[in-house]
């Protein structure tokens, strides 16, 4: 049972345009959400996070939006750059004393074309 | 800061053999995690240590898997005997304290192939 779902395995975007990566979750106890980026042959690296008390968090070109009622979050990258090409993982945490544990989606491969 | 260091980077072994994966967390980080990545299941938490003590091993697939953390700077994940379905990338990650503001720091992973 996938509690964190990234329904798009891949996304292709033109350089300079906006990339929107989506993530849905089913566990209403999740209260903290993170995005990780992963290049081939490397471990995932932390990108940006958001607490459930917020609906938006911005860091440079990256913005994460959280819609709690829909149990949906999205990562916007504007403008997209070729170096952003990577696999992006959505992760969630919280609830039941397991706030140490991150539950990951399966990832979305983003390709930014020059 | 050298980051989280995992060894080996690649391991190819025959079914039935023992495999040991190693991890050195970032100095000062008191939480350590082992994750496994497969195409079918994505990234799954296998085991979590806090201050060298195993706190949650509910993700360990079966008794063939064991993990130890003898001190704050070293952890091992052992598979004995290994099976082809254990083929995956195994990541170690560490974190300072309880907060998740910056998530974990992952190592580069060990790609295990069991033939």
Task: Give tens-digit pLDDT for A7-39.
Answer: 999 999 999 999 999 999 999 989 899 999 999
Q: In chain B, whose CA is at the least distance from the CA of A34?
A: B103
Q: Is the pLDDT of residue B102 over 70?
A: no
pLDDT score of B103 more than 90? no
Residue B64 has pLDDT above 90, yes or no: yes
Inform me whether the pLDDT recorded for B62 exceeds 90: no
Instruction: Please answer yes or no on whether A42 and B105 come within 8 Å at the CB atom.
Output: no
Q: How many Å lie between the alpha carbon of A47 and the closest alpha carbon of chain B?
A: 8
B38 contacts B18 by C-beta, under 8 angstroms? no
- Per-residue pLDDT band at B89 (split at 50, 70, 90): very high
Contact B50 A100 (CB under 8 A): yes
Backbone phi, then psi, for B62, in 5-degree steps?
-170, 180
Q: Return the sign of the alpha-carbon dihedral for residues B11, B114, A39, B98.
A: negative
Please tell me the distance from the alpha carbon of residue A72 to that of residue A8, in angstroms, as a whole number: 14
Res. A100 pLDDT band, cuts 50 70 90: confident
Least confident of A95-109, B10-24, B29-43, B69-83: A95-109
Model pLDDT, residue A96? 56
* B83 pLDDT more than 60: yes
Q: Which residues contact B81 (CB under 8 A, 6 or more apart)?
A: B15, B16, B17, B18, B64
A interface test, pick of B100, B104, B105, B109 with most A CB neighbours within 10 Å? B100
DSSP letter at B98 equals: S
In this prediction, residue B61 carries a pLDDT of: 87
Query: Nearest CB to A43: which of B31, B50, B91?
Result: B91
Torsion angle, CA of A55/B97/B41/A90, rounded to 10 degrees? 20
CA distance A97 to A102: 12
């Amino acid at each position: 049972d996938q509690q964190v779902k990234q329904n798009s395995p891949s996304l292709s975007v033109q350089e300079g345009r906006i990339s929107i990566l989506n993530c849905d979750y089913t566990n209403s106890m999740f209260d903290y959400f993170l995005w990780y980026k992963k290049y081939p042959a490397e471990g995932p690296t932390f990108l940006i996070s958001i607490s459930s008390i917020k609906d938006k968090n911005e860091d440079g070109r990256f913005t994460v939006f959280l819609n709690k009622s829909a149990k949906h979050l999205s990562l916007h990258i504007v403008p997209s750059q070729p170096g952003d090409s990577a696999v992006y993982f959505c992760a969630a945490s919280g609830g039941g004393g397991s706030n140490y544990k991150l539950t990951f989606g399966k990832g979305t491969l983003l390709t930014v074309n020059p | 800061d050298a980051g989280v260091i995992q060894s080996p980077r690649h391991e190819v072994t025959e079914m039935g053999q023992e495999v040991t994966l190693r991890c050195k967390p970032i100095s000062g980080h008191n939480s350590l995690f082992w994750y496994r990545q497969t195409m079918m299941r994505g990234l799954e938490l296998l085991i979590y240590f806090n201050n060298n003590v195993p706190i949650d091993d509910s993700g360990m697939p079966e008794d063939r898997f064991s993990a130890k953390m003898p001190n704050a700077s070293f952890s091992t994940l052992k598979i004995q005997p290994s099976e082809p379905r254990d083929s995956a990338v195994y990541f170690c990650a560490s974190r300072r304290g309880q907060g998740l503001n910056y998530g974990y720091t992952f190592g580069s992973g060990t790609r295990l192939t069991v033939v």
